[in-house]
Amino acid sequence: MDEKQGHTVGSKITLSGKILGLPLRVEEIITAYDRPLAKAWETIGSPRLLVMGPYRMGFSLAPQ
């Protein structure tokens, strides 16, 4: 993680590792952050993943 630790828009997160000897790597950037109610992020660059390519994810909490 960068110095912002994924807690602000524009913060970057890098994940890397290996599975079955294959190197995996993905870089993500935070695109929306409204603590504690919502957060969104997406991949940047060309992710090196096993079964999926670029993606966008997020969550939004709603009161019941």
Which of 53, 2, 51 shows the shortest CA–CA distance to 42? 53
What pTM was estimated for this model as a whole? 0.83
pLDDT tens digits for range 35-56: 989 999 999 999 999 888 999 9
For residue 34, the surrounding DSSP H or E stretch is strand 22-34
For residue 48, the surrounding DSSP H or E stretch is strand 38-48
pLDDT tens digits for range 10-23: 999 999 999 999 99
